[in-house]
A and B are shown apart, each in its own frame.
Chain A
Amino acid sequence: MKVRSEHNWHGYLFVAPATIYLAVFAFFPMVFAGYMSLHNWHLLKDEHPFVGFGNFTKLFADPFFRNAIWNTLVYVVFSVPLGVVTSLAVAALVAQKLRGVGFFRTLYYVPAVSSQVAISMVWIWILLPEVGLINSAMKWLGFEGTTNFLAEPGWAMAAIVVMSVWIGLGPRMIIFMAGLQSIPETLYEAAAIDGATKWRRFRHVTLPLLAPTTLFVVVTTTIAAFQLFTPVYMMTRGGPRRTTDVVLYHIYKEAWQKFEVGTASAMSYVLFAMILIVALFQFRVMRRGLSEGGAA
Chain B
Amino acid sequence: MKALRITLVYALLAVIAATTIIPLVWMGLTSLHGPRAPIPTMSTLFNPDKGSFIGWSGDVTGDAEKTTVVMDRDHNVSAWFAKKGDDKNAVRIPDDSPAETVDSPAETEYSLRITTQGLGTVSVSPESESGSYPAGTTVELTAVPDPGWHPENYWTVLTYGELPIWRFAINSFIVTGGVVFFQLALCSLAAFGFSRLQWRGRDPLFFVFLLTMMVPAQVLVVPLFMVVQKFGWLDTYWGLIIPYPYLSTAFGTFLLRQFFVTLPKSLDEAARLDGCTELGLFWKIILPSAKPAVATVAAFAFIWTWTDFYWPLLASSSTTMRTLEVGLSVFKDSYGGMQWSLQMAAAVIVLIPVLIVFLSLQRFFVRGVVMSGMKE
Contact = CB atoms under 8 A, between A and B. Distances in A.
B17 interface: yes
Interface stretch (B79-87, B108-116, B157-165, B344-352): B344-352
Contact of B216 (A117, A146, A226, A265): A226
Interface stretch (A8-16, A59-67, A185-193, A283-291): A8-16
Given A98-B9, A174-B369, A22 B282 contact: no
B150 interface: no
B295 to A, nearest CB: 15
Given A29-B227, A93-B12, A106-B362, A118 B193 contact: no
B199 to A, nearest CB: 3
B215 interface: yes
A78 interface: no
Contact of B222 (A106, A175, A261): A261
Contact of B212 (A26, A104, A121, A128): A26
A4 to B, nearest CB: 5
Contact of B224 (A25, A175, A223): A25
Contacts of A121: 328, 332, 343-344, 347
Interface residues of B, number: 92
B284 to A, nearest CB: 15
A128 B329 contact: no
Contacts of B24: 110, 122
B276 interface: no
Given A118-B347, A216-B373, A30 B187 contact: no
A256 interface: yes
Contacts of A216: 373, 375
A33 B222 contact: yes
B236 to A, nearest CB: 16
B215 A129 contact: no
Interface string A79-109: 0000000000010011010100100101111
Interface residues of A, number: 91
Contacts of B278: 7, 10, 13-14
A146 B202 CA distance: 62
Interface in B350-374: 350-351, 354-355, 358-359, 362, 365-366, 369-370, 373-374
Interface in B39-54: 40
A234 B369 contact: no
A294 interface: no
Contacts of A109: 358, 362, 365
A218 interface: no
Contacts of B347: 115, 117-118, 121-122
Given A33-B223, A121-B343, A271-B219, A18 B249 contact: yes
A238 to B, nearest CB: 12
Interface of B: 6, 9-10, 12-13, 16-17, 19-24, 26-27, 30, 38, 40, 73-75, 185-187, 189-190, 192-194, 197-200, 202, 205, 209, 212, 214-227, 242-243, 245, 248-250, 253, 278, 282, 303, 306-307, 309-310, 314, 324-326, 328-329, 332, 340, 343-344, 346-348, 350-351, 354-355, 358-359, 362, 365-366, 369-370, 373-375
